[in-house]
Amino acid sequence: MSSKWPNRVIDAVVLLVAAVEGVLNTITGETSAGIIPVMIAVLALLVRDRWPLPSFLATLPAVLVPGAVVPAVVALYAVSARYRNWWLLAGCGLLAAVSFIVPTSDLAPSDLDSYMVLGIIYFTMTAVAPILLGQFLHTQRELALRLEEVKEAREHERRLDAEAILARERNQLAREMHDVVSHQVSLIAVQAGALKVSTADPTAKQAAENMRQLSVNTLDELRHMVNLLRASGTPATELTPQPTLTDLERLIAGSAIEARLVGDAPLDLEPPVQRAIYRTIQEALTNVRKHAPGASATIDISHDDTDLTVTVTNTPPTRPNLALPSARHGLVGLHERAALLGGKLHTGPTPDGGFRLRLRLPVGTARG
């Protein structure tokens, strides 16, 4: 609304100047009949932006009778700012110039033709000036539009380049994941299957089967992740298929540790929330296997009117843990998942030497 005020002020000033000029020309004239053309000319300026050509024609009588030129100049500028047809603009300019010259033609001395020539030049320039100004502003607006189009085209090109670079990086990452991780996990699955067949110890046979099943599950999720990377994250394929809370029992059963699930989550959770809960429990159980061999874990899911809480607590380890590589990227990822959903993740040791991981999400974000 505030951007319209300068235009309204300019319109008011233009109307005031046109009215004052018309009144002064009428007062100094021999007759007051010119007040009617002046009123028509001033009123015509009110609609010059919507109907510039009729507005210009309506101002010409005020030029011929009392000699008021301001309304005609303003209306001629409006015509030039609207149209690009040079024949139309030349005709309007010629019509204005003739209208300016006619009232003063009888004032020129008959023996001095130079006055008439100077008058023609002056009034012709008076008619040409608003046309040139209108065309200049018209060209300026067109250039501004062209620059905006060029800016949008460059921005679109920049986005396409960024997407192309991202696609190449995704494909490279997908190849590395497939070539390196898939190869190593496949070897684990094969050797675990061979161990299951060759051993007679029931405990070793069960451990080998757990290793083989975990390797198969890892390969399956890796295949989905590679497909996701190669699809460049398009909406039709993004994060699909992904685990939900219905897969928790299978996750716990295949974790190769003693774990139990306490409580349950609401049934109307959004898919991103279900994935966050699943990945949090998955990472917690993985950390128990890596850093607390022989420990048991309890997974507690609870919710109230404000928060949904997932707590994974494990007991102290009963066997020495192996030195496995870890950069804590898993916990960093869990913190990021929680933050994206408006929640928080807390981790820390328990008084008895175990470890606790707690995810807290607001109910308003979790439920659909």
Quick: pLDDT tens for 48-101.
Answer: 778 888 887 777 777 777 667 777 778 778 888 787 787 887 777 777 777 776
Averaged pLDDT score across all residues of the chain: 76
Q: Where are the beta strands (DSSP E) in the chain?
A: 258-262, 296-303, 307-314, 344-349, 355-362
Tens of pLDDT, residues 164-205: 787 777 777 776 666 567 667 767 777 777 788 788 888 888
**Token couple for 128:** 């040409």
Confidence of residue 236 (pLDDT cuts 50, 70, 90): very low
Provide the CB-side half-sphere exposure for 256 (13 A, CA).
20
Q: Which residue has the higher pLDDT, 241 or 22?
A: 22
Per-domain residue ranges of the chain: 2-107, 243-368
**Is the confidence at residue 238, as pLDDT, over 50?**
no
**What's phi and psi for 296, nearest 5 deg?**
-105, 160
Please name which of 42, 40, 41, 51 lies closest in space to residue 78, comparing C-alpha atoms. 51
Residue 163, number of CB atoms within 10 A of its CB: 12
DSSP class of 367: B
Measured torsion, CA atoms of residues 20, 22, 28, 32, in degrees rounded to the nearest 10 = -120
pLDDT of residue 360: 93
Provide the CB-side half-sphere exposure for 156 (13 A, CA).
6
> CA–CA separation, 69 vs 62, rounded Å?
7
**Fold held by 243-368:** Heat Shock Protein 90 (3.30.565)
The answer to whether the beta carbons of residues 166 and 232 sit under 8 Å apart is yes
DSSP class of 181: I
The answer to whether the beta carbons of residues 96 and 69 sit under 8 Å apart is no
Please name which of 42, 96, 48 lies closest in space to residue 75, comparing C-alpha atoms. 48
DSSP class of 51: S
The answer to whether the beta carbons of residues 316 and 353 sit under 8 Å apart is yes
Beta bridge partners of 361: 308
Q: Which residue has the higher pLDDT, 364 or 259?
A: 259
pLDDT of residue 59: 77
pLDDT of residue 237: 44
Residue 5, number of CB atoms within 10 A of its CB: 9
Of 110-114, 278-282, 305-309, the poorest mean pLDDT is in: 110-114
Characterize 94-132 residue by residue with b for buried, 16 or more Cβ atoms within 10 angstroms of its Cβ, and e for exposed.
ebbbbbbbebeeeebeeeeeeebeebbeebbebbbebbe
Please name which of 309, 315, 230 lies closest in space to residue 266, comparing C-alpha atoms. 309
pTM of the model: 0.46
**Token couple for 96:** 């204005």
**Is the confidence at residue 1, as pLDDT, over 50?**
no
% of residues, the chain, pLDDT over 90 = 9
**Is the confidence at residue 324, as pLDDT, over 70?**
no
SS3 291: helix
**What's phi and psi for 211, nearest 5 deg?**
-65, -45
SS3 347: strand
